[in-house]
Structure 1
Amino acid sequence: MAKRWRLLPHDMGRVEHLMRQSRLPAVVAQVLIRRGVFQSEDVQRFLESRLTMLRDPEDLPGVPAAADQIHQAILDRKSIVIYGDYDADGITGTAILFNGLKLLGADVSYFVPNRLEDGYGLNCDSLRKLATRGKQMVISVDCGIASPDEADLCKELGLELIVTDHHQFGERLPDATLVHPRLPGSHYPFAGLCGAGVAFKLAWSVCQRACGAKKVTERLRSYLMQSLAVAAIGTVADVVPMLDENRILVHHGLRSLLSNPSIGMRELLKMTKLDQKSALSSEDIAFMLAPRLNATGRLGQAQLGVELLTTDNPVRAAALAEYIDGLNGSRQTLERSVYLAADKQAKDEFDPEQDPALVLSGVDWHKGVIGVVAGRIAEKYGRPTIILSLDGAAGKPAVGSARSGGMVDLHAMLGECNEHLITYGGHAAAAGVSLDESSLDRFREAFCEAVSQNVPSDYQAEINIDAEASFSQWNLETVKQVEMLEPFGDSNPRPIFCASGVSLKEPARKMGGGDRHLTVNLVQHNSAMRAVAFGAGQWCEELNALNAPIDVAYRPVINEFRGYRKVEIQIVDWRPAGQRVSD
């Protein structure tokens, strides 16, 4: 679907003031103003992200009580189990707590539900099994805040339950010890921590309990610094706002990931060739590391992801990294198969350019990849999208994943249609649903109606352009200036620029598994630039057939290969030259 290009307005007076105050280059000052950073003291806080800026873990709602409870359980030799979610955020948070409690001498194990069999969150059958095996304390990671019935069961089973989470509350809070940045009645200043970030704060506090002081021993400090790298992966993977404490966690976690990785992470870095880079970026996590950890959960083997992050056996770590890399390849094949089928259904049976939303379904579409596919379809057509996997067996519910594409609050939209659903949960950008297959058509109609009431009929997805910039403006130094704004992510995206009157120096080519991506050499006013477009292989034929100049929206990046560094661009969008950029 064609997107509207919108050039973001700039207050040049403010830009010049910030340049004078902070001695920043114009391009960095301009983008910082767009990020809401106006004063020199704010610039320092944003760019430096000092570790000392992390808030005391005791300030996080629920941490003091939970840390006391865990510390006492360690002293009493209670059998503790970390019950994590199966995505990269849950996997990393589980590993952080398991490693920390093990280091403190706890009788600790971990359990991660099977996505395909157990479903999301605390599971009554699993809790009963854990109680039968003699577990006495359950600490949830990245789940549990919307599980009051499961918390009641823990009471019946004699299980102490500590819930650590960051998701939306249900109608009733669990009767348990709760750790959550947005607990009712609390006033924690940053609500954007992910599950791994919450787990890190709790682990930090438990370490302080064990030492009887704010300052921990060198051994525990080393563990916490290594855990920053693990928390950074969870933070980037969960697409939480890259602001405030998340920037600090990721900024320092990226450094720790390269300088002091765990045994398992070292092997995964080798497998992805990231160990050859001089510095890592948040995009290295987003596109290389997080998908591999997520693949373990998507294919029902999340426990292997936790094991990779917790093993102290180099041989086992190498075998796990290789196996997980293979799982990711399988995940990519499954994802492409479901994507092609869903995209065909969208075009053959619906009108993706006009319908307010898309609800697509297929028998045995793999439940582990439907969320990724929903995101890709939502991005392609600029429409909220739900992908449902139908079981095909009588009486079994359809299970679906939804993505908003940034257009609506999904959780609110699903609430308006909940009479057609068995269950639903999630947040504004992503959600999960289950429903009887017989209700599918009624649900689709109700969901599309709810979206249409909240999105204008002439809605068109937009690309926000930070500035116009010709190819000749970019060299290693200017791109380094832009990268001062790292780590990039939600609420602090890598800046997008546009260039007009660009020509293809030679025909575009597809690349990557399944020809998913595109590479092309472009030229503008005698300045040549290699460009890639990830996930946009379908542009190839159209670009090559156009035989006319184009305009491109792009992100400048530094590509590092075998020690050689050069500037390239990542194409975000393109169109025939000469169209107006709105403001």
Structure 2
Amino acid sequence: MSKRWIFFPLNKALQIEIASKLKISPLLAQVLINRGILDITSARNFLQPQIAGLGDPSLLHGMEEASIRINKAVSKGEKIVIYGDYDVDGLTATAVMYRCLKLLGAQVRYYIPERLEEGYGLNADAIRRLKEDGAAVILTVDCGINACREADLARAYGIDLIITDHHQPGQEIPNAFVVINPKLESSPGVFRDLSGVGIAFKLAWAIGQYFSPLRKVSPEFKDFLLSAIGLVSLGTIADVVPLVGENRILTKYGLSALQYTEIPGLRALLDIADLSHTNLDVFHVGYRLGPRLNAPGRISNAGIVVEMLTTACKERAVEIANFLEQENKRRQDIQVDIMVSARKKVINEINLDETSAIVLADQTWHPGVIGIIASKIVEEFNRPTVMIAITDDVGHGSARSIPSFHILKALEFCKSKLLSVGGHAQAAGLKIHPQHINEFRDMLNSATSQRLHKTDLVPVLNIDAEITLSMLSKALVTELARLSPYGEGNPAPVFAATNLKIVGQPRRIGTKGQHLSFYVKQEDVAIRAVAFGMGGQIDRLRQNGRACSLAFAVKINNWMDGDNLELEVKDIKFDNE
């Protein structure tokens, strides 16, 4: 699908000011401006993130009450249960809190609900079982902000429920012992986009402070926190929260902590993913580590992941890591089958000219995998997508959206046809009676068609600047790397170059010829370009001498001990098309 190129407006005056004050290139300064960084201090902090830039945990409402109550539970030997979630954010948050409370000698256990049997978040049956087991305090991580009924039940049972969550609150806030959620904060000094594990880390930090009479954590606890940042980076990246502000700090330092971690479960995970001797970046977490941690929660039971992340036994950690590897391969096989089935439905059953939101349902699909497929359908067809797996007369749905469209608001418009709904602007979950799916599809399409124009359904490619090939150098690539880690809210820079000639013979590469390799020349400069997933366009490129424009990221290719500039193509436009 052809893309709309949208260029950020140049701000020459500010570009020159930032570049001269920080001694950086005007191009790097312009990319910072494009990211909304419009003053010298913000630019310096972005390029040089410091641990000291993390906000004090006490800025979050409820942190003091939660810390005092947990301190009391530890000192009295009361049973504490950490109630987590089955995705990477929830699992790492659970591991951080469990390791924290174990370090303090607490009577603590964790509870991870089963995706297929219990669904997301707190549920009444689990609370009853935890009460019977003697729980005095239930601490949620990455869930609970909309669990009003369950909070009332916990209170009736005499359980102190501490909710920590980062999801969007509803109109009613649960009547829990305390609720910690940065999205409830109005103070400009509070960073509101923390992940679930980011909030757990802040709570662990606050607990460490309250256990010290000087409000300064002990050296042992400081070592724990610095080690835990590795876990925080995993959950933060995997949950696709904006990698700006405090998330940028936690991710930047967390990736380093992860690379050199001594936590047995993380070392075993890095080994099984063949990443033990790699400089870790966001890609490795998103595509190599995250899927392995997510796999059991998608197709079996995620609790074993927390065991791996908290065990002191290296042999057990390796055993679980091997299990995760097998579960991930099983997940991949299931995913391939569902993807083929879903694409057929889109192509054969949907008129895309008349459809602004794609809703697909099937009784053979696995509920744990459909969220991944929904993302891929959005990527290919550029429409908000809901995938529904029907099991036992209930449809379990996962929704994903295009960047410009708030899917949760659209789903809430359709609430009358849904059993439940919750999530974020770009990703949400729902339950629905199968007999209501057709009405829901019509209602969602009505809602999306009113808010989306035809142009919104054409994928957008944001271009940081138009440049010439002569501007590119290894030094520039090194300088631009200061913008990393890249992710949501801070994408890798994309540039455009025009009036290029394709030279030599383009060729297909990859095991199935799915990618392209070719050279482009502009005046006296020629550079290799690689276009992933564009193998089918080779005939267009082979018409030698054709003039084109490229949108690309620029990289250094170190393959086979080489050290060459390379363009990673995002889109191609031919001048005569």
TM-score, with length taken from structure 2: 0.93
Q: Which moved more, 1:105-114 or 1:32-41?
A: 32-41
Deviations 1:55-77 (A, max 9, x none): 11111121111011111100011
Q: What's the offset of the Cα at 1:160?
A: 1.6
The 1:113–1:216 alpha-carbon spacing in structure 2 relative to 1, beyond 3 Å, is same
**Residue in structure 2 matched with residue 421 of structure 1 by the alignment:** 418
Does 1:547 find its partner at 2:542?
yes
Q: What's the offset of the Cα at 1:185?
A: 6.3
Does 1:41 find its partner at 2:32?
no
Contact (CA 8 Å) 2:506, 2:538: kept in 1 or not? no
Structure 2 distance, partners of 1:436, 1:205, is: 43
Structure 1 distance, partners of 2:501, 2:214, is: 61
Q: Give 1:294's aligned amino acid.
A: N
Deviations 1:11-30 (A, max 9, x none): 22221221111110122111
3-state SS in 1 of match to 2:135: coil
Does 1:452 find its partner at 2:449?
yes
**Residue in structure 2 matched with residue 434 of structure 1 by the alignment:** 431
Q: Give 1:520's aligned amino acid.
A: L
Contact (CA 8 Å) 2:243, 2:489: kept in 1 or not? yes
Q: Give 2:530's aligned amino acid.
A: A
**Which of 471, 483, 498 is 1:485 aligned to?**
483
Q: What's the offset of the Cα at 1:304?
A: 1.9
3-state SS in 2 of match to 1:136: strand
Q: What's the offset of the Cα at 1:566?
A: 4.9
The 1:187–1:17 alpha-carbon spacing in structure 2 relative to 1, beyond 3 Å, is closer
Contact (CA 8 Å) 1:267, 1:321: kept in 2 or not? yes
**Residue in structure 2 matched with residue 112 of structure 1 by the alignment:** 112
Q: What's the offset of the Cα at 1:484?
A: 0.4
Q: Give 1:435's aligned amino acid.
A: I
**Which of 564, 567, 570 is 2:568 aligned to?**
570
The 1:275–1:415 alpha-carbon spacing in structure 2 relative to 1, beyond 3 Å, is same
Q: What's the offset of the Cα at 1:542?
A: 3.2
**Residue in structure 1 matched with residue 240 of structure 2 by the alignment:** 239
Please report the RMSD computed on the Cα atoms of aligned residues, expressed in angstroms. 2.1
The 1:559–1:197 alpha-carbon spacing in structure 2 relative to 1, beyond 3 Å, is farther
Structure 1 distance, partners of 2:245, 2:29, is: 19
Structure 2 distance, partners of 1:410, 1:212, is: 47
**Residue in structure 1 matched with residue 264 of structure 2 by the alignment:** 263
Q: What's the offset of the Cα at 1:345?
A: 0.6
**Which of 517, 520, 524 is 1:521 aligned to?**
517
Long gaps (5+) in structure 1? none
Q: Give 1:173's aligned amino acid.
A: I
3-state SS in 1 of match to 2:496: strand
3-state SS in 2 of match to 1:428: coil
Structure 2 distance, partners of 1:522, 1:202, is: 52
Contact (CA 8 Å) 1:7, 1:465: kept in 2 or not? yes
Q: What's the offset of the Cα at 1:6?
A: 1.6
Structure 1 distance, partners of 2:264, 2:501, is: 46
Q: What's the offset of the Cα at 1:524?
A: 0.9
Long gaps (5+) in structure 2? none
**Residue in structure 2 matched with residue 306 of structure 1 by the alignment:** 306
Q: Which moved more, 1:378-387 or 1:126-135?
A: 126-135
**Which of 452, 463, 466 is 1:465 aligned to?**
463
Count of paired positions? 567
Structure 2 distance, partners of 1:333, 1:71, is: 46
Q: Which moved more, 1:267-276 or 1:164-173?
A: 267-276
Q: What's the offset of the Cα at 1:405?
A: 1.4
Structure 1 distance, partners of 2:469, 2:272, is: 34
The 1:295–1:574 alpha-carbon spacing in structure 2 relative to 1, beyond 3 Å, is farther
Instruction: Give the percent of matched residue pairs that are identical in Structure 1 and Structure 2.
Output: 34
The 1:247–1:422 alpha-carbon spacing in structure 2 relative to 1, beyond 3 Å, is same
Q: Give 2:426's aligned amino acid.
A: A
Structure 1 distance, partners of 2:560, 2:267, is: 18
TM-score, with length taken from structure 1: 0.92
The 1:250–1:565 alpha-carbon spacing in structure 2 relative to 1, beyond 3 Å, is farther
Q: Give 1:542's aligned amino acid.
A: Q
**Residue in structure 2 matched with residue 531 of structure 1 by the alignment:** 530
**Residue in structure 1 matched with residue 80 of structure 2 by the alignment:** 80
Q: How does 1:486-501 map to 2 (within 5 A)?
A: 486-500=484-498, 501=500
Structure 1 distance, partners of 2:567, 2:303, is: 37
Structure 2 distance, partners of 1:578, 1:192, is: 45
Contact (CA 8 Å) 1:359, 1:444: kept in 2 or not? yes
Structure 1 distance, partners of 2:281, 2:374, is: 26
Contact (CA 8 Å) 1:353, 1:381: kept in 2 or not? no
**Residue in structure 1 matched with residue 181 of structure 2 by the alignment:** 180
**Residue in structure 2 matched with residue 252 of structure 1 by the alignment:** 253
The 1:305–1:473 alpha-carbon spacing in structure 2 relative to 1, beyond 3 Å, is farther
